[in-house]
Structure 1
Amino acid sequence: MGRDHPHGTSASWSIRAEPGSTPPSRPNTTPVEPVRNTGGSMNGDRQSPPWQTPRGSDRQPPPRYTPPAEPGPPPQVQEWTPPWASGPAQQHSNDPRYQPTSQDLAPDSLLRRPKRASTSGWRRGVHRLTGGVINPGESTAEERYRNQVERIRQPVLGDYRIAFLSLKGGVGKTTTTLGLGSTFASLRGDCVIAVDANPDFGTLGERVPNQTSSTVRDLLADADNIRRYSDIRAHTSQAPSRLEVLAGERDPAASEMFGEQDYRSVIEMLQVYYNLILTDCGTGIMHSAMNGVLQLANALVLVSSPAVDGARSAAATLDWLQLHGYGHLVERTVVVISSVRPGSSAVDMNLLTQHFLERCRAVLVVPFDEHLAEGAIVDLELLRPQTRAAFVELAAMVADDFPAASGRHSGSNWR
Structure 2
Amino acid sequence: MAADRTHTGRVHRLAQDSNWDLAPDYSPFAPPAGPPAGPDWRRPLDALGTVLVPPQARPAPAEPPTELLPQAPQAPQLPEAPQVPEVPEFALPPQTAQFPPPHPAPQPAPQPAPQPAPVARRGRRALALTAGLGLGRGERERERERLTATIRTPLHRSFRIAVVGLKGGVGKTSTTLALGSVLAEARADKVVAVDANPDTGTLSMRVHRETRATVHDLLAAEATITGYMDVRRFTSLTPSGLEILANDADPAIANSFSGEHYRRLVDLLSRQYPIILSDCGTGLLHSSMRAVLNLADQLVITATTSVDGASSADATLEWLYTNGYGSLAQRSVTLISSVRSNGRTIRVEELVAHFESRCRGVVVLPFDEHLALGGEFAPEKLRPKTRRAYLDLTALVAEGMHFAPPATGPHAAAAPTW
Give the structure-1-normalised TM-score: 0.63
Q: SS of 1:322's equivalent?
A: helix
Q: SS of 1:214's equivalent?
A: coil
Q: SS of 1:164's equivalent?
A: strand
Q: Percent identity?
A: 48
Amino acid at match of 1:181: G
Question: CA 1:365–1:256 in 2, change beyond 3 Å: closer, same or farther?
Answer: closer
1:174 equivalenced with 2:157 (yes/no) = no
Question: CA 1:172–1:228 in 2, change beyond 3 Å: closer, same or farther?
Answer: same
Query: How does 1:24-63 map onto structure 2 within 5 Å?
Result: none
Query: How does 1:114-133 map onto structure 2 within 5 Å?
Result: none
User: Which segments of structure 1 move beyond 6 Å, counting only runs of 4 or more?
Assistant: 342-345
Q: Which residue of 1 aligns with 2:214?
A: 215
Question: CA 1:374–1:255 in 2, change beyond 3 Å: closer, same or farther?
Answer: closer
Query: How does 1:3-22 map onto structure 2 within 5 Å?
Result: none
Amino acid at match of 2:228: Y
Q: SS of 1:266's equivalent?
A: helix
Q: Which residue of 2 aligns with 1:83?
A: none
Q: Which residue of 1 aligns with 2:355?
A: 356
Question: CA 1:300–1:144 in 2, change beyond 3 Å: closer, same or farther?
Answer: same
Question: CA 1:255–1:230 in 2, change beyond 3 Å: closer, same or farther?
Answer: closer
Amino acid at match of 2:309: G
* C-alpha RMSD of the superposition: 2.4
Query: How does 1:140-151 map onto structure 2 within 5 Å?
Result: 140-151=139-150
Q: Whole-Å Cα distance in 2 between the matches of residues 328 and 404 of structure 1?
A: 11
Query: How does 1:98-117 map onto structure 2 within 5 Å?
Result: none
Q: Which residue of 1 aligns with 2:335?
A: 336
Amino acid at match of 1:231: D
The offset of 1:408, in angstroms, is: 7.3
Q: Whole-Å Cα distance in 2 between the matches of residues 363 and 295 of structure 1?
A: 23
Which has the larger Rg? 1
Larger RCO of the pair (alpha carbons < 8 Å, separation 6+): 2
1:342 and 1:368 in contact (8 A); partners too: no
Q: SS of 1:351's equivalent?
A: helix
Q: Which residue of 2 aligns with 1:305?
A: 304
Query: How does 1:228-377 map onto structure 2 within 5 Å?
Result: 228-252=227-251, 254=253, 257-341=256-340, 346-377=345-376
Question: CA 1:139–1:345 in 2, change beyond 3 Å: closer, same or farther?
Answer: farther
1:172 and 1:340 in contact (8 A); partners too: no
Offset from partner CA, 1:179-235 (integer Å, 9 cap, x none): 111010011110111000000110101111110000001001010110110010000
The offset of 1:276, in angstroms, is: 0.8
Give the structure-2-normalised TM-score: 0.62
Offset from partner CA, 1:354-405 (integer Å, 9 cap, x none): 1111110001111111222222221211111000001111010011111379
Q: Whole-Å Cα distance in 1 between the matches of residues 246 and 212 of structure 2?
A: 9
2:200 and 2:254 in contact (8 A); partners too: no
1:393 equivalenced with 2:392 (yes/no) = yes
Question: CA 1:345–1:274 in 2, change beyond 3 Å: closer, same or farther?
Answer: farther
The offset of 1:251, in angstroms, is: 2.5
1:156 and 1:404 in contact (8 A); partners too: no
2:207 and 2:377 in contact (8 A); partners too: yes
Offset from partner CA, 1:340-364 (integer Å, 9 cap, x none): 4389984121111111111100011
Question: CA 1:396–1:353 in 2, change beyond 3 Å: closer, same or farther?
Answer: same
Question: CA 1:139–1:258 in 2, change beyond 3 Å: closer, same or farther?
Answer: same
2:157 and 2:406 in contact (8 A); partners too: no
Q: Whole-Å Cα distance in 1 between the matches of residues 233 and 174 of structure 2?
A: 24
Offset from partner CA, 1:27-69 (integer Å, 9 cap, x none): xxxxxxxxxxxxxxxxxxxxxxxxxxxxxxxxxxxxxxxxxxx
Q: Whole-Å Cα distance in 1 between the matches of residues 204 and 138 of structure 2?
A: 39
Q: Whole-Å Cα distance in 1 between the matches of residues 263 and 299 of structure 2?
A: 17
Q: SS of 2:170's equivalent?
A: coil
Amino acid at match of 1:298: D
Amino acid at match of 1:321: L
Amino acid at match of 1:358: S
Q: Whole-Å Cα distance in 2 between the matches of residues 161 and 401 of structure 1?
A: 11
Q: Which residue of 1 aligns with 2:101?
A: none
Amino acid at match of 2:315: A
